[in-house]
Each structure stands twice: as structure tokens, then as C-alpha cells.
Amino acid sequence: MATAHDALEKLFQKARKAIAERDWDRAKQVYLQALGLKSDSPDVHYGLATVFFQLRELTSAAHHFKEVTRLDPLRAGAYINLGAVQNLLQQYDEAVTVLRRGLQLDATRVEGYYNLGVVYRNLGQEDLAMQAYREALRLNPRMADAQLNLANLLFGRQNYRQALHHYEEALKLRPNWAKALDGIAQTREVLEGEKKPASTPETFGAVGSGLDPTAQVDPDTHGGFLTHLHQVTIESEESGRALHHILEREVEPAVKELSSALLYQHGLRTELEECVAKFESAVDRMRQTYQQMQNRIGNLKKLETQFPHQ
């Protein structure tokens, strides 16, 4: 006589077959049948969570990964996968907590450090994000996504040579990767600009009244002017990129947290005060960077009156 265990095992086999065929809807139905037979099975919940994730039903995926951690609190993979899903749901603080728990249980889980890096970056905590990516790469230097993400953070910090190294490593691991190629091109452009000697006011030539499109520029005669123009342009571009980065990684998350705290008023007053302080800090950083960009654009405009005429 077939037992409940035998019936459950047959359902597992059907589910594995459906997953191998990437028939996620079929796998979902089979796991739901299994859940009816044994609702306290962490393996059933794990399978359901995985299928819901593939179907992009993230709230359901998070629920079942949580059930796994409740039923089997020592399963590191469940915490790490739960953290990845919570990151996609923008539940960043919860994601940090469960990812740390997963890594406490198994400190060799590369994907745990990688996902922690992603969450920290979304929180605007770039130092912690870089530490997490570096740990992931220490465990697995062939993780192309970690190489690229670390390179992007280093580029934003103007550590261009280190950024170039990691962009190149990412490209070795994933040839013709457009994101790595773009990063290499942008970084080399900045580094080439840094190699050129700084100009002095005497090399600018006669003071004019504006840019003359008919003027003839000789690289030998006007090299100083062209070098300075290129450098100021690069600096202006970097300021614009930094401003975009702050808006995306600091201001936007701070606004979301503050809005949530004000709308739902959950938690203690100190939590609201922390949200306000984080928002004000992000806005201050944005204002400072915007002012730097304005100053550099102003320097660029000043060069219009210093164009060397014949």
C-alpha cells in the first residue's frame, strides 16, 4: 500500500521534471498538491518559493522562503534567497538582516555576499557594498557580476585604475559584455585626460570675445588650451555622473523611506527622526555635488573668452 511519503516523493519527481522542462506553472501546481499532503515540509515550501520566484510572484516567493526559515532555521540558502527576493521588493533593511543570518550559518556562500553588496548599494552604503563584493570575489574571483558592480562603485569614487582592473576582469569572464566594454571605454577616457599636463594661463593666447568657428586651431600652438578644455569637460561630465548617482542611490531611497514612515507611521519616533536625518543628508550631498557641477560648467564657459584666435 502506497504511503503518504511515497505519494509525496512522486510529486517531488513530477515537480523536478517540470522544472527541468522550465514548465513553471506545472511545477507550481504539483508543489501545491504536495503542500496539501504535508504543509510543514520545508522542502515543499522551498520548491514553491523557487517556482514563485521564476514566475516573478515575489511576494509569494518571500512568504515560502520565510516558511523554510521557520521550519528549518539552520538552512542558510533559504535566508540568502529570501534576502535576494526582499531586495527586489525593496525591503532593504529586512534583506540585510536575513542575508547576515544566512552568512552566519554558512560563511562560504558567495551569493550571500554578492546579494549583500547589492542591498547595501541600494541603501547608499557604498563602503559596505564594496566590502561585500570584495568578499564575494575572494571566494570566487570568476563572478563577473561582482567584478562589474565593484568596478562601478570604484569608478564613482574616482578610483579609476582599480575600476579599470575590475572592468577588464569582468570582460575576461564574459567576453563582449557591453556593460564591461562601456566601463572600460569611459575609464580609459578619464585616465587619458589625467595623463595630459596641466596648462598655464600664458598658453591660452589672446583674449577673444567668444568661440570663433572659423578659427584655425593648431595642436602644437594651442596644445595648452586644448588640454585645459578637455580636462574641464571631463570634470563637468564626472560631476554630472556623480549627481545622477546620488539622486539614484541616496536621494531616491531616502525619499521612499521617509514617505513610508510618514504615511504609515510605523515604528518609534526615533525611526522617523532617522529617516528625516538620512533624507537631509542625501539632499545636502546632492546640493554640494550640484554646486560643484555648476562651478565646473562655469569654468567651461569661461574658456569661451580664452579661445586662441589667429
Concatenating the DSSP letter of every residue in 84-147 gives: HHHHHTT-HHHHHHHHHHHHHH-TT-HHHHHHHHHHHHHTT-HHHHHHHHHHHHHH-TT-HHHH
Identify the pLDDT of residue 45.
94
Identify the pLDDT of residue 306.
54
Same domain, 243 and 179: no
Range of the domain at 286: 218-304
Same domain, 154 and 20: yes
Grid coordinates standing for 303?
A: 574658456
In angstroms, the CA 14 to CA 44 distance is 13
Dihedral (Cα; 208, 213, 216, 218), 10-degree rounding? 80
Identify the pLDDT of residue 246.
73
Residue 310 forms part of a structural domain: no
In angstroms, the CA 15 to CA 12 distance is 5
Q: Check which CATH number belongs to the domain holding 69 and give it.
A: 1.25.40.10
Mean pLDDT of 150-155: 96
In angstroms, the CA 41 to CA 189 distance is 56
Judge whether 86 and 95 are in contact, CB under 8 Å: yes
Last residue of a domain, one of 194, 209, 235: 194
Tell me the average pLDDT of the chain.
81
Grid coordinates standing for 123?
A: 541603501
Judge whether 236 and 283 are in contact, CB under 8 Å: no
Angle at which helix 92-105 crosses helix 76-88, to 10 degrees, equals 160
Judge whether 238 and 190 are in contact, CB under 8 Å: yes
pTM of the model: 0.62
In angstroms, the CA 223 to CA 176 distance is 35
Residue 272 forms part of a structural domain: yes
In angstroms, the CA 157 to CA 172 distance is 23
Identify the pLDDT of residue 209.
36
Question: Into how many domains does the chain fold?
Answer: 2
pLDDT tens-digit series, residues 27-58: 999 999 999 989 999 999 999 999 999 999 99
Give Rg (Cα) of the chain.
27
Same domain, 149 and 225: no
Q: How confident is the model at residue 249 (pLDDT cuts 50, 70, 90)?
A: confident
Last residue of a domain, one of 178, 194, 210: 194
Same domain, 249 and 136: no
Judge whether 153 and 133 are in contact, CB under 8 Å: yes
Same domain, 143 and 269: no
Residue 211 forms part of a structural domain: no
- Return the higher-pLDDT residue of 224 and 299: 299
Same domain, 54 and 165: yes
State the residue for C-alpha cell 547608499. 124
| Residue percentage of the chain with pLDDT more than 70 | 70
Helices and strands counted in the chain (H then E): 14, 0
Q: How confident is the model at residue 269 (pLDDT cuts 50, 70, 90)?
A: low
Identify the pLDDT of residue 14.
93
Identify the pLDDT of residue 210.
41
Residue 293 forms part of a structural domain: yes
Contacts of 263 by beta carbon, 8 Å cutoff, 6+ apart: none
Same domain, 186 and 246: no
| Residue percentage of the chain with pLDDT more than 90 | 58
In angstroms, the CA 272 to CA 6 distance is 53
Same domain, 225 and 179: no
In angstroms, the CA 56 to CA 28 distance is 12
Identify the pLDDT of residue 305.
56
State the residue for C-alpha cell 514617505. 259
Q: How confident is the model at residue 250 (pLDDT cuts 50, 70, 90)?
A: confident
Same domain, 24 and 81: yes
Residue 11 forms part of a structural domain: yes
- Return the higher-pLDDT residue of 259 and 6: 6
Residue 207 forms part of a structural domain: no
Identify the pLDDT of residue 289.
72
Residue 46 forms part of a structural domain: yes
Same domain, 113 and 29: yes
Same domain, 234 and 293: yes
Same domain, 152 and 236: no
Residue 124 forms part of a structural domain: yes
For residue 199, is pLDDT > 70? Answer: no
